[in-house]
Amino acid sequence: MKEAVAGELAAAYHSKLVDDVRTAGFRHDKGRLTVHLAREFGFCYGVDRAVDYAYQAVARFPGRNVFLTGEIIHNPHVNDRLRANGIKFLSDPDERGRHLGPDDVVILPAFGVTVEEMKRLSDLGCTLVDTTCGSVLTVWKNVVRYAQDGFTAVIHGKLKHEETRATASQASKFPNGRYLVVLDREEAAIVCEYIRKRGDRNAFLARFGQAVSAGFDPDVDLARIGCANQTTMLMSESLEIEQMFRDAMRERYGEAALAQHFRAFDTICSATQERQDAVIALLEREPVQLMIVVGGYNSSNTCNLARICASRVRTFHIADPECLLSADRIRHRPVGLPSTAPPSEVVTENWLPAEGRVIIGLTAGASTPNNIVGQVIETLERFTGTA
Ligand code: SF4
Protein backbone atom coordinates (compact mmCIF):
# COMPACT_ATOMS: atom_id res chain seq x y z
CA MET A 1 0.00 0.00 0.00
CA LYS A 2 2.95 2.30 0.71
CA GLU A 3 4.04 2.01 -2.93
CA ALA A 4 0.50 2.70 -4.11
CA VAL A 5 0.45 6.16 -2.53
CA ALA A 6 4.12 7.05 -3.04
CA GLY A 7 3.45 8.79 -6.38
CA GLU A 8 0.54 10.74 -4.96
CA LEU A 9 2.65 11.92 -2.01
CA ALA A 10 5.56 12.94 -4.22
CA ALA A 11 3.23 14.89 -6.51
CA ALA A 12 1.70 16.69 -3.54
CA TYR A 13 4.75 17.58 -1.49
CA HIS A 14 7.93 17.19 -3.53
CA SER A 15 10.01 20.10 -4.90
CA LYS A 16 12.71 19.67 -7.53
CA LEU A 17 14.05 23.12 -6.71
CA VAL A 18 14.55 22.16 -3.06
CA ASP A 19 16.32 18.96 -4.15
CA ASP A 20 18.61 21.06 -6.33
CA VAL A 21 19.37 23.47 -3.49
CA ARG A 22 20.18 20.55 -1.24
CA THR A 23 22.52 19.09 -3.85
CA ALA A 24 24.20 22.47 -4.27
CA GLY A 25 25.24 22.52 -0.61
CA PHE A 26 22.01 24.04 0.72
CA ARG A 27 22.74 27.26 -1.14
CA HIS A 28 20.84 28.88 -3.98
CA ASP A 29 22.32 31.74 -6.02
CA LYS A 30 20.40 33.57 -8.65
CA GLY A 31 21.24 37.11 -9.75
CA ARG A 32 21.48 39.28 -6.65
CA LEU A 33 19.71 36.68 -4.50
CA THR A 34 21.42 34.14 -2.28
CA VAL A 35 19.35 31.78 -0.16
CA HIS A 36 21.01 29.69 2.54
CA LEU A 37 18.83 26.77 3.50
CA ALA A 38 19.27 25.11 6.91
CA ARG A 39 20.75 21.63 6.56
CA GLU A 40 17.83 20.10 8.46
CA PHE A 41 14.41 21.55 7.78
CA GLY A 42 10.84 20.61 6.94
CA PHE A 43 9.06 17.26 7.28
CA CYS A 44 10.40 15.15 10.15
CA TYR A 45 10.21 11.35 10.23
CA GLY A 46 7.08 11.44 12.42
CA VAL A 47 5.19 13.78 10.10
CA ASP A 48 6.35 11.91 7.01
CA ARG A 49 4.97 8.71 8.45
CA ALA A 50 1.69 10.25 9.65
CA VAL A 51 0.91 11.78 6.25
CA ASP A 52 1.88 8.53 4.52
CA TYR A 53 -0.46 6.53 6.81
CA ALA A 54 -3.32 8.97 6.14
CA TYR A 55 -3.01 8.52 2.38
CA GLN A 56 -2.72 4.77 2.82
CA ALA A 57 -5.88 4.72 4.97
CA VAL A 58 -7.90 6.28 2.16
CA ALA A 59 -6.54 3.71 -0.32
CA ARG A 60 -6.96 0.77 2.07
CA PHE A 61 -10.57 1.45 3.06
CA PRO A 62 -12.37 2.48 -0.13
CA GLY A 63 -16.04 3.31 0.37
CA ARG A 64 -15.65 3.86 4.13
CA ASN A 65 -15.69 7.16 5.94
CA VAL A 66 -12.16 8.08 6.99
CA PHE A 67 -11.84 10.66 9.78
CA LEU A 68 -9.07 12.52 11.51
CA THR A 69 -9.61 13.50 15.15
CA GLY A 70 -8.27 16.96 14.26
CA GLU A 71 -5.29 18.36 12.41
CA ILE A 72 -2.90 15.52 11.57
CA ILE A 73 -0.01 17.96 11.89
CA HIS A 74 0.09 21.72 12.26
CA ASN A 75 0.26 22.73 8.62
CA PRO A 76 -2.77 24.20 6.88
CA HIS A 77 -1.72 23.05 3.39
CA VAL A 78 -1.24 19.45 4.40
CA ASN A 79 -4.56 19.41 6.26
CA ASP A 80 -6.40 20.99 3.33
CA ARG A 81 -4.96 18.44 0.93
CA LEU A 82 -6.15 15.64 3.18
CA ARG A 83 -9.63 17.19 3.21
CA ALA A 84 -9.49 17.34 -0.60
CA ASN A 85 -8.50 13.69 -0.55
CA GLY A 86 -11.78 12.83 1.16
CA ILE A 87 -10.70 12.68 4.81
CA LYS A 88 -13.15 14.32 7.20
CA PHE A 89 -11.95 16.23 10.25
CA LEU A 90 -13.94 15.58 13.43
CA SER A 91 -12.80 19.02 14.63
CA ASP A 92 -14.49 20.78 11.67
CA PRO A 93 -17.79 22.51 12.58
CA ASP A 94 -19.96 20.29 10.35
CA GLU A 95 -18.43 17.07 11.73
CA ARG A 96 -18.59 17.93 15.43
CA GLY A 97 -21.02 15.68 17.24
CA ARG A 98 -20.84 13.06 14.47
CA HIS A 99 -21.82 9.56 15.72
CA LEU A 100 -19.05 7.10 14.98
CA GLY A 101 -19.33 3.35 14.74
CA PRO A 102 -17.58 0.16 13.62
CA ASP A 103 -17.78 1.12 9.94
CA ASP A 104 -15.74 4.25 10.49
CA VAL A 105 -11.99 4.61 10.15
CA VAL A 106 -10.34 7.15 12.46
CA ILE A 107 -6.76 8.37 12.01
CA LEU A 108 -4.98 9.49 15.17
CA PRO A 109 -2.50 12.35 14.64
CA ALA A 110 1.30 12.33 14.98
CA PHE A 111 1.12 14.03 18.39
CA GLY A 112 -1.33 11.43 19.70
CA VAL A 113 -4.66 11.64 21.54
CA THR A 114 -5.54 11.43 25.21
CA VAL A 115 -6.06 8.13 27.00
CA GLU A 116 -9.78 8.97 27.32
CA GLU A 117 -10.16 9.72 23.62
CA MET A 118 -8.39 6.52 22.66
CA LYS A 119 -10.69 4.50 24.91
CA ARG A 120 -13.80 6.26 23.61
CA LEU A 121 -12.91 5.53 19.99
CA SER A 122 -11.97 1.92 20.76
CA ASP A 123 -15.24 1.38 22.66
CA LEU A 124 -17.14 2.67 19.63
CA GLY A 125 -15.51 -0.08 17.59
CA CYS A 126 -13.89 2.28 15.07
CA THR A 127 -10.97 1.06 12.99
CA LEU A 128 -8.06 3.10 14.33
CA VAL A 129 -5.06 4.14 12.24
CA ASP A 130 -2.59 5.27 14.89
CA THR A 131 0.10 7.63 13.53
CA THR A 132 1.40 8.68 16.96
CA CYS A 133 5.10 9.36 16.51
CA GLY A 134 7.59 6.98 18.16
CA SER A 135 9.28 9.93 19.87
CA VAL A 136 5.98 10.91 21.51
CA LEU A 137 5.43 7.28 22.56
CA THR A 138 8.84 7.32 24.28
CA VAL A 139 7.73 10.28 26.39
CA TRP A 140 4.46 8.53 27.23
CA LYS A 141 6.35 5.43 28.36
CA ASN A 142 8.36 7.50 30.82
CA VAL A 143 5.31 9.38 32.12
CA VAL A 144 3.55 6.05 32.72
CA ARG A 145 6.62 4.79 34.57
CA TYR A 146 6.66 7.93 36.72
CA ALA A 147 3.00 7.36 37.62
CA GLN A 148 3.63 3.71 38.35
CA ASP A 149 6.51 4.59 40.71
CA GLY A 150 4.64 7.41 42.47
CA PHE A 151 6.43 10.31 40.76
CA THR A 152 4.53 13.36 39.49
CA ALA A 153 5.24 14.08 35.82
CA VAL A 154 6.33 17.72 35.51
CA ILE A 155 5.85 18.43 31.81
CA HIS A 156 7.48 21.39 30.08
CA GLY A 157 4.87 22.08 27.42
CA LYS A 158 1.90 24.08 26.28
CA LEU A 159 -1.22 23.19 28.17
CA LYS A 160 -3.46 23.62 25.15
CA HIS A 161 -1.26 21.67 22.76
CA GLU A 162 -2.68 18.29 21.77
CA GLU A 163 0.58 16.50 22.47
CA THR A 164 0.92 17.89 25.98
CA ARG A 165 -2.69 17.04 26.80
CA ALA A 166 -2.15 13.51 25.50
CA THR A 167 1.13 13.14 27.39
CA ALA A 168 -0.37 14.43 30.65
CA SER A 169 -3.28 11.99 30.32
CA GLN A 170 -0.83 9.07 30.39
CA ALA A 171 -0.40 9.71 34.12
CA SER A 172 -4.05 8.75 34.60
CA LYS A 173 -3.24 5.12 33.74
CA PHE A 174 -2.44 4.66 37.43
CA PRO A 175 -4.92 5.66 40.15
CA ASN A 176 -2.50 8.01 41.90
CA GLY A 177 -0.80 9.25 38.76
CA ARG A 178 -0.19 12.99 38.88
CA TYR A 179 1.02 15.65 36.47
CA LEU A 180 1.84 19.34 36.40
CA VAL A 181 2.44 21.33 33.19
CA VAL A 182 4.83 24.30 33.20
CA LEU A 183 5.04 26.57 30.18
CA ASP A 184 8.35 28.32 30.72
CA ARG A 185 11.15 29.29 33.10
CA GLU A 186 8.92 31.74 34.92
CA GLU A 187 6.37 29.08 35.82
CA ALA A 188 9.12 26.58 36.62
CA ALA A 189 10.68 29.14 39.02
CA ILE A 190 7.38 29.47 40.91
CA VAL A 191 7.12 25.71 41.32
CA CYS A 192 10.79 25.45 42.36
CA GLU A 193 10.24 28.13 45.00
CA TYR A 194 7.33 26.10 46.35
CA ILE A 195 9.47 22.97 46.43
CA ARG A 196 12.18 24.79 48.39
CA LYS A 197 10.08 26.68 50.92
CA ARG A 198 6.50 25.52 50.54
CA GLY A 199 4.14 28.47 50.49
CA ASP A 200 0.53 29.39 49.99
CA ARG A 201 -1.15 26.20 48.79
CA ASN A 202 -4.29 27.98 47.64
CA ALA A 203 -2.32 30.55 45.67
CA PHE A 204 -0.41 27.72 44.02
CA LEU A 205 -3.60 25.95 43.03
CA ALA A 206 -5.12 29.20 41.81
CA ARG A 207 -2.12 29.70 39.52
CA PHE A 208 -1.75 26.11 38.30
CA GLY A 209 -5.30 24.79 38.77
CA GLN A 210 -5.78 24.22 35.04
CA ALA A 211 -2.35 22.70 34.64
CA VAL A 212 -2.52 19.88 37.20
CA SER A 213 -4.23 16.52 37.47
CA ALA A 214 -7.44 16.18 39.49
CA GLY A 215 -6.84 16.16 43.25
CA PHE A 216 -3.32 17.57 42.92
CA ASP A 217 -1.86 18.63 46.26
CA PRO A 218 1.42 20.54 45.94
CA ASP A 219 2.37 19.71 49.54
CA VAL A 220 2.26 16.01 48.71
CA ASP A 221 2.66 15.70 44.96
CA LEU A 222 5.83 17.75 44.57
CA ALA A 223 7.79 15.46 46.89
CA ARG A 224 8.73 13.11 44.03
CA ILE A 225 8.85 14.48 40.50
CA GLY A 226 10.00 13.34 37.07
CA CYS A 227 10.63 15.79 34.22
CA ALA A 228 9.20 15.34 30.73
CA ASN A 229 8.69 17.60 27.73
CA GLN A 230 6.48 18.27 24.83
CA THR A 231 8.83 17.01 22.12
CA THR A 232 8.88 20.25 20.16
CA MET A 233 9.91 22.73 22.85
CA LEU A 234 13.08 24.81 22.72
CA MET A 235 15.71 22.30 23.79
CA SER A 236 17.88 24.83 25.64
CA GLU A 237 14.87 25.96 27.68
CA SER A 238 13.80 22.40 28.50
CA LEU A 239 17.29 21.56 29.72
CA GLU A 240 17.41 24.72 31.81
CA ILE A 241 14.03 23.93 33.38
CA GLU A 242 15.14 20.39 34.15
CA GLN A 243 18.23 21.78 35.89
CA MET A 244 16.08 24.24 37.87
CA PHE A 245 13.99 21.37 39.21
CA ARG A 246 17.06 19.23 39.91
CA ASP A 247 18.60 22.09 41.95
CA ALA A 248 15.37 22.75 43.85
CA MET A 249 14.95 19.06 44.76
CA ARG A 250 18.60 18.82 45.78
CA GLU A 251 18.19 21.80 48.09
CA ARG A 252 15.00 20.39 49.58
CA TYR A 253 16.05 16.77 50.06
CA GLY A 254 19.86 16.74 49.81
CA GLU A 255 22.18 15.16 47.26
CA ALA A 256 22.12 11.72 48.88
CA ALA A 257 18.34 11.42 48.58
CA LEU A 258 18.03 13.11 45.18
CA ALA A 259 17.44 9.90 43.21
CA GLN A 260 14.47 9.06 45.45
CA HIS A 261 12.86 12.41 44.68
CA PHE A 262 13.90 13.43 41.18
CA ARG A 263 14.06 11.80 37.76
CA ALA A 264 14.64 13.13 34.26
CA PHE A 265 15.28 11.88 30.76
CA ASP A 266 15.81 13.52 27.40
CA THR A 267 12.47 13.90 25.67
CA ILE A 268 13.14 16.44 22.93
CA CYS A 269 12.85 14.42 19.73
CA SER A 270 15.94 14.17 17.56
CA ALA A 271 14.17 15.81 14.59
CA THR A 272 13.33 18.90 16.65
CA GLN A 273 16.85 19.05 18.00
CA GLU A 274 18.43 18.66 14.56
CA ARG A 275 16.31 21.49 13.14
CA GLN A 276 17.23 23.78 16.04
CA ASP A 277 20.93 22.87 15.77
CA ALA A 278 20.91 23.35 11.98
CA VAL A 279 19.47 26.84 12.14
CA ILE A 280 22.00 27.89 14.79
CA ALA A 281 24.80 26.48 12.61
CA LEU A 282 23.45 28.36 9.58
CA LEU A 283 23.36 31.65 11.47
CA GLU A 284 26.86 31.13 12.82
CA ARG A 285 28.20 30.26 9.36
CA GLU A 286 26.45 32.65 7.00
CA PRO A 287 26.10 36.45 7.19
CA VAL A 288 22.40 36.52 6.33
CA GLN A 289 20.51 39.81 6.27
CA LEU A 290 17.28 38.23 7.41
CA MET A 291 15.78 34.88 8.19
CA ILE A 292 12.53 33.39 6.93
CA VAL A 293 10.95 30.59 8.96
CA VAL A 294 8.10 28.78 7.20
CA GLY A 295 5.44 26.80 9.06
CA GLY A 296 1.99 26.76 10.62
CA TYR A 297 1.40 29.47 13.20
CA ASN A 298 0.14 26.81 15.62
CA SER A 299 3.22 24.65 15.05
CA SER A 300 5.24 24.56 18.25
CA ASN A 301 8.53 23.53 16.67
CA THR A 302 8.22 26.24 13.99
CA CYS A 303 7.56 28.95 16.58
CA ASN A 304 10.63 27.80 18.47
CA LEU A 305 12.79 27.91 15.34
CA ALA A 306 11.61 31.49 14.85
CA ARG A 307 12.51 32.34 18.46
CA ILE A 308 16.04 31.01 17.96
CA CYS A 309 16.49 33.04 14.77
CA ALA A 310 14.95 36.24 16.13
CA SER A 311 17.46 36.32 18.97
CA ARG A 312 20.23 36.65 16.36
CA VAL A 313 18.86 38.30 13.22
CA ARG A 314 15.74 39.99 11.80
CA THR A 315 13.27 37.12 11.40
CA PHE A 316 9.92 36.63 9.69
CA HIS A 317 7.73 33.63 10.56
CA ILE A 318 5.39 33.03 7.62
CA ALA A 319 2.75 30.36 7.14
CA ASP A 320 3.18 30.01 3.38
CA PRO A 321 4.48 31.75 0.24
CA GLU A 322 1.32 33.87 -0.02
CA CYS A 323 2.60 35.79 3.02
CA LEU A 324 5.29 37.26 0.77
CA LEU A 325 2.97 39.99 -0.49
CA SER A 326 5.49 41.95 -2.57
CA ALA A 327 9.11 43.06 -2.55
CA ASP A 328 7.98 45.78 -0.13
CA ARG A 329 5.50 44.00 2.09
CA ILE A 330 5.50 40.78 4.10
CA ARG A 331 2.70 39.35 6.26
CA HIS A 332 4.00 37.38 9.23
CA ARG A 333 3.38 36.26 12.77
CA PRO A 334 5.15 38.20 15.54
CA VAL A 335 7.87 36.01 17.00
CA GLY A 336 7.60 35.09 20.68
CA LEU A 337 3.89 34.33 20.99
CA PRO A 338 3.29 30.72 22.06
CA SER A 339 2.01 28.46 19.26
CA THR A 340 -1.23 27.98 21.20
CA ALA A 341 -1.97 31.75 21.18
CA PRO A 342 -4.68 32.84 18.72
CA PRO A 343 -3.19 33.26 15.24
CA SER A 344 -2.30 36.87 14.58
CA GLU A 345 -0.36 38.50 11.78
CA VAL A 346 1.26 41.85 11.10
CA VAL A 347 2.46 43.40 7.85
CA THR A 348 5.98 44.80 7.68
CA GLU A 349 7.03 47.21 4.93
CA ASN A 350 10.42 47.46 3.23
CA TRP A 351 11.50 44.05 4.38
CA LEU A 352 13.75 43.20 1.41
CA PRO A 353 16.81 45.24 0.41
CA ALA A 354 15.68 47.14 -2.69
CA GLU A 355 19.14 47.15 -4.26
CA GLY A 356 22.37 45.22 -4.07
CA ARG A 357 22.80 41.70 -2.85
CA VAL A 358 20.06 39.97 -0.92
CA ILE A 359 21.24 37.21 1.42
CA ILE A 360 18.45 35.30 3.11
CA GLY A 361 18.47 32.38 5.52
CA LEU A 362 15.61 29.92 5.21
CA THR A 363 14.24 27.10 7.31
CA ALA A 364 10.93 25.34 7.79
CA GLY A 365 9.18 23.61 10.67
CA ALA A 366 8.78 19.84 10.90
CA SER A 367 5.28 19.97 9.42
CA THR A 368 6.14 22.02 6.32
CA PRO A 369 6.43 20.11 3.04
CA ASN A 370 9.18 20.79 0.52
CA ASN A 371 6.85 22.16 -2.17
CA ILE A 372 6.01 25.07 0.16
CA VAL A 373 9.71 25.75 0.77
CA GLY A 374 10.32 25.63 -2.98
CA GLN A 375 7.53 28.13 -3.63
CA VAL A 376 9.06 30.52 -1.09
CA ILE A 377 12.38 30.42 -2.97
CA GLU A 378 10.61 30.99 -6.31
CA THR A 379 8.77 33.99 -4.87
CA LEU A 380 12.03 35.44 -3.57
CA GLU A 381 13.48 35.05 -7.06
CA ARG A 382 10.57 37.03 -8.48
CA PHE A 383 10.83 39.79 -5.87
CA THR A 384 14.56 40.24 -6.47
CA GLY A 385 14.07 40.38 -10.23
CA THR A 386 15.88 37.14 -10.90
CA ALA A 387 13.05 34.78 -11.85
S1 SF4 B 1 8.49 16.74 15.70
FE2 SF4 B 1 9.47 14.92 16.58
S3 SF4 B 1 7.92 14.03 17.93
FE4 SF4 B 1 6.84 15.44 16.57
S5 SF4 B 1 6.21 14.15 14.86
FE6 SF4 B 1 8.19 15.01 14.29
S7 SF4 B 1 9.70 13.45 14.90
FE8 SF4 B 1 7.77 13.00 15.96
Selection from 230, 80, 226 nearest residue 162 by Cα = 230
Candidates 113, 269, 275: which one to mutate for ligand 1, based on the most atoms within 8 Å of Cβ?
269
Average pLDDT over residues 7-36: 94
Which has more confidence, 178 or 94?
178
Q: Which residues carry out catalysis?
A: 163
Q: Ligand 1: which residues within 6 Å by Cβ?
A: 44-47, 110, 133, 135-136, 231-232, 269, 271-272, 301, 366
For residue 234, the model assigns a pLDDT of 87
For the CA of 301, the closest atom of ligand 1 is 1
- The stretch 153-176 carries a mean pLDDT of 95
Tell me what the mean pLDDT of segment 273-282 comes to. 96
pLDDT value at residue 46: 94
CA of 48 to the centre of ligand 1 (A): 9
Per-residue model confidence (pLDDT) at position 336: 84
For 347, phi then psi, to 5°, come to -110, 130
Ligand 1 atom closest to the CA of 73, numbered from 1: 5
Q: What share of the chain is helix, strand, coil (3-state, %, to 5)?
A: 45, 15, 35
Confidence of residue 94 (pLDDT cuts 50, 70, 90): confident
Residue 387: pLDDT band (50, 70, 90) is low
pLDDT tens for 23-43 read 999 999 999 999 999 999 999
Question: Which of 43, 44, 108 has the most ligand 1 atoms within 8 A of CB, as the residue to mutate?
Answer: 44
**Among 101-105, 130-134, 204-208, 229-233, which stretch is predicted with the lowest mean pLDDT?**
229-233
Output the DSSP codes for 286-332: S--SEEEEES-TT-HHHHHHHHHHHTTS-EEEESSGGGB--SSEEEE
Compute the distance from residue 386 Cα to the ligand 1 centre, in Å. Answer: 36
Indicate which atom in ligand 1 lies nearest the CA of residue 135. Answer: 3
What predicted TM-score, i.e. pTM, was given to this entire model? 0.89
User: How many angstroms is it from 387 CA to the middle of ligand 1?
Assistant: 35
Look at strands 346-349 and 329-332 and give their pairing: antiparallel
Distance CA 76, CA 72 (A): 10
How far is the centre of ligand 1, averaged over its atoms, from the C-alpha of 253 (Å)? 35
pLDDT of 266 above 80: no
pLDDT value for 77 = 87
pLDDT above 70: residue 339: no
Closest C-alpha among 5, 19, 8 to residue 373: 19
Q: Looking at ligand 1, which atom is closest to the CA of residue 133?
A: 8
Residue 74 has pLDDT above 90, yes or no: no
- For 207-220, write each residue's pLDDT tens digit: 999 999 999 999 99
The CA distance from 374 to 301, in Å, is 20
Per-residue pLDDT at 12: 86
Q: How confident is the model at residue 75 (pLDDT cuts 50, 70, 90)?
A: confident
Q: Whose CA is nearest to atom 7 of ligand 1?
A: 46
